[in-house]
Structure 1
Amino acid sequence: MTTNPRSTAQVAGHPIHPMVIGFPIVCFVLTFVSDLAFYATSNQFWTTASLWLLGIGLITAAIAAVTGLVDVFGDGRVRNLSDTRFHAVGNVIALLIALYNWYSRYEHGSSAVVPTGVVLSGLVVLILVFTAWKGGEMVFRHRVGVAD
């Protein structure tokens, strides 16, 4: 009998990674939304909101990355999936873009938002759509972390 690839970062048998990934995703999507709001209104509130959302997104993404890495290194079957590599590499690229975006805004304020910040935020969202798809493939096709 073959068992499903298991999640090694878990609490009471429940994988932690899917519990925490929603936080950075929401923060990065809302960064893009608040950038668009700033573009439409020029209200400085939105630049502050974007900076905070990016910062919180980066911190929570680090937590999600650690739990994901524990899963990858905990089961060779997870590590050997091509979807795992696409998911991980895509998320690293998204995080590096988001980190640059945060730093640029921290250094240059609202002048870093239009057009560069908007483009970078939109690019991060597009990458996250792809990496979320690959994460879904890992769960729904390859049954990673699904109870036997």
Structure 2
Amino acid sequence: MTNPKSTAQIAGHPIHPMLIPFPVACFVLAFVSDVAFWRTSNDFWASASLWLLGVGLIMAVLAAIVGVIDLMGDDRIRNLNDAWLHAGGNVVAVLIELYNWYSRYEQGTSAIVPTGVVLSFIVVLILLFTGWKGWEMVYREHVGVSDEVGPTQTTRLT
């Protein structure tokens, strides 16, 4: 039996795993900059967090669109419990970060400590869980893994 295929792909390479590092990095770095703001009260860190959250949200939407295309494109992916936990957890994370971004946009730096720091930390924990579920799909269920064996390459030890 062949592996579950990624519907959204370029030259056989799934797009979703190409996009997800961006929102993950942005949301984790937003937490780091929140902690830096909390410790230093330097407005640079507040501004950095706002921008990181904004860019992370935009990239998360792109990753989500491609993820939904993959989810709906193959029955075997749709039937995986891990796929739904991965998707649902990421939706929760994005909604939390959307609120986190909006509260900072409206209230400024007063929205960062303690609420923004706590929300950012919760999202980091959610991302650890959803990342684990995503890797479970790849490593256990071989979602998006090519069935074809590439040309063998010889390596030369010196």
TM tier relative to shorter chain: over 0.9
Aligned partner letter, 2:29:
L
When normalised by structure 2's length, the TM-score is 0.93
Q: CA deviation at 1:42?
A: 0.3
Which of these two proteins has the greater Rg computed from alpha carbons? 2
Alpha-carbon shift at residue 62 of structure 1 (Å): 0.3
Counterpart amino acid of 1:122? Answer: F
User: C-alpha displacement at 1:49, in angstroms?
Assistant: 0.3
Structure 1 counterpart of 2:134, which letter?
Answer: G
Spell out, residue by residue over 1:54-75, the C-alpha distance to the aligned partner (whole angstroms, 9 max, x if none).
0000000000000100000000
Q: Deviations over 1:92-143 (max 9, x none)?
A: 0000000000000000000000000000000000000000000000000000
- When normalised by structure 1's length, the TM-score is 0.99
- Cα shift at 1:10: 0.1
Query: Structure 2 stretches of 5 or more lacking a match?
Result: 148-158
Runs of 4 or more consecutive aligned structure 1 residues displaced over 2 Å after TM superposition: none
Query: Counterpart of 2:32?
Result: 33
Equivalence for 1:130: 129
Amino acid at match of 2:121: G
Which structure has greater helix proportion?
1
How many residues are paired up? Answer: 147
Q: Distance in 2 between matches of 1:88 and 1:132?
A: 10
Instruction: Give the Cα separation in 1 of the matches to 2:23 and 2:117.
Output: 17
